[in-house]
Amino acid sequence: MRVDPPIPITTPVTQLLGITHPILLAPMDLVSDGRLVVAVDAAGGFGILGGGYGEEKWLVRELDVLDRAKARFGVGFITWSLAKQPRLLDIALERKPVAIMLSFGSPVSFIDRIKHAGAVVICQIQSVALAKEAAAAGADILVAQGAEAGGHGVTRGLVTLVPEIVDELEGRKPIVAAGGIADGRGLAAALMLGAAGVLMGTRFYASQESAGVQRAKERICSATGDDTLRSIVFDISRHNVWPAPFTGRCLRNAHADRWFGLEVELMRRLDQESAKYAAAREAGDFDIAAVIAGESVGLIHDIPSVRDVFEGVMDEASTLLSRWSSKLET
């Protein structure tokens, strides 16, 4: 049994956020609730509450959880959805978060308010152009999201996206890598690419403390990266089609296989199919309802505690980095 705590890896991100380990929790809608954020904070990482599309009652309830735990935390919002109900940002800022994370849309109209409240601004981006825009607008940390990630994103792979952004910004902003990372190998690789940390979603989805449904967690554990699909099928099915160019990566299931490539026909039959989809989500029927997860499912085979996730990732990353450092010195 492990006794010693993981060896810290200090980076600009750990220093800016005041954390021990350069690991951030992705603000997964509904899954990244207060309990999961508290567990990530206790393990030495940075938990970001999944503000998602902005359900006010849920947000207030989970912020109350964080207040009671006296946790350090961030809140993540879908930027284009937040623009429709900007009061949610005020609700979050009243609770004195360490950071606010904005994803999928221009952050320009929100950054000054966040900085005025004393919070760090984290912007998730999917291209060099978006990285330049966010950096120029005043973002403090950029999350470079590769297409391997679960949920919504675009087409760039992480291995080229991270160093390209690092080179473009010439070290002016710390970069966090997201997409396909679930273990210490991913963290070590991200650091070698020039990132100052990683943001993980799917690995924390399949943890004991996450708000995900148990059957969804079990599907993650039994899937491979080949079992994921990036499409708009589940968005159409739930009456929530995103603006281009964003598509969503989920686990393949019978519903996705039935309608992938037939999206126009699905829209023609939407009244009938959306009712089936809503019923399936309510019942936890994941042959129809989507499990939103990334390609890292192929690296996930268990449902451990958050603390065990951290210990495993940090031990593996530290070992790999030390091993290669020793080889270079000989």
Instruction: List pLDDT tens digits, range 49-58.
Output: 999 888 999 9
- Given pLDDT bands bounded at 50, 70 and 90, which one contains residue 5? low
- Given pLDDT bands bounded at 50, 70 and 90, which one contains residue 322? confident
DSSP state of 292: -
Q: What kind and span of H or E run contains 33?
A: none
Q: Encoding tokens for residue 286?
A: 């994941």
CA 8 → CA 120, 137, 191, 310, distances in Å? 22, 31, 14, 11
Residue 3 is predicted with a pLDDT of 42
pTM of structure: 0.94
Mind listing the domains of the chain with CATH numbers? 12-212+302-329 (3.20.20.70), 214-283 (no CATH)
In angstroms, the CA 287 to CA 255 distance is 6
Give the chain's mean pLDDT: 94
Instruction: List pLDDT tens digits, range 180-222.
Output: 999 999 999 999 999 999 999 999 999 999 999 999 999 999 9
Poorest-confidence range of 61-70, 186-195, 248-257, 321-330? 321-330
* Percent of the chain scoring above 90 in pLDDT: 88
- Given pLDDT bands bounded at 50, 70 and 90, which one contains residue 316? very high
* Percent of the chain scoring above 70 in pLDDT: 96
In angstroms, the CA 100 to CA 48 distance is 8
Residue 2 is predicted with a pLDDT of 47
| 3-state helix/strand/coil string of 57-94 | HHHHHHHHHHHHHCCCCEEEEEHHHHCCCCHHHHHHHH
Residue 1 has pLDDT above 50, yes or no: no
Instruction: List pLDDT tens digits, range 113-123.
Output: 999 999 999 99
By C-alpha distance, which of 215, 210, 199 is closest to 294? 199
